[in-house]
Chain A
Amino acid sequence: MKRIEISARTVAEAVELALAQLGRDRDEVAIEVLDPGENGDEALVRVTVVEDEEETPSIERVSEIAQHILEDLLERMDIQAYVTAVISHTTGPQGEPEATITLHVEGADEEAMGLLIGRRGETLRSLQFLLNLLVSRRIQKWPQLVVDVGNYRQRRQESLESLARRMAERVRQTGRPIMLEPMAAYERRIVHLALRNDKTIYTESSGEGENRKIVIYPAKHS
Chain B
Amino acid sequence: MKALLEYIARNLVDTPEAVRIKERSGRFTVTYHLSVAPSETGKVIGRNGRVAKAIRDLMGVAAARQKKRVHVDIE
Contact = CB atoms under 8 A, between A and B. Distances in A.
Interface of A: 69, 72-73, 76-79, 112, 115-116, 118, 122-123, 126-127, 129-130, 133-134, 137
B4 interface: yes
Contacts of A134: 8, 11-12
Contacts of A73: 4, 7-8, 58
Interface string B10-54: 011000000000000000000000000000000000000011011
A102 B4 CA distance: 22
Max chain A Cβ within 10 angstroms of own Cβ: one of B12, B53, B61: B61
Contacts of B12: 133-134, 137
8 nearest A-B residue pairs (beta carbon): A76-B4, A126-B57, A126-B54, A78-B65, A130-B54, A77-B62, A76-B3, A115-B61
Contacts of B50: 129
B58 A126 contact: yes
A133 B51 contact: yes
A137 B61 contact: no
Given A76-B3, A118-B61, A123-B61, 17 more contacts: A73-B7, A76-B4, A78-B62, A78-B65, A115-B65, A118-B57, A123-B58, A123-B60, A127-B54, A127-B57, A127-B58, A129-B50, A129-B54, A130-B55, A130-B58, A134-B8, A137-B11
A115 B67 CA distance: 12
B74 interface: no
A118 B53 CA distance: 13
A139 to B, nearest CB: 13
Contacts of B61: 77, 79, 115-116, 118, 123
23 contacts: A69-B11, A72-B7, A73-B7, A73-B8, A76-B4, A77-B4, A77-B62, A78-B65, A78-B66, A115-B65, A116-B61, A118-B57, A122-B57, A126-B53, A126-B54, A127-B54, A127-B57, A127-B58, A129-B50, A130-B51, A133-B12, A134-B8, A134-B11
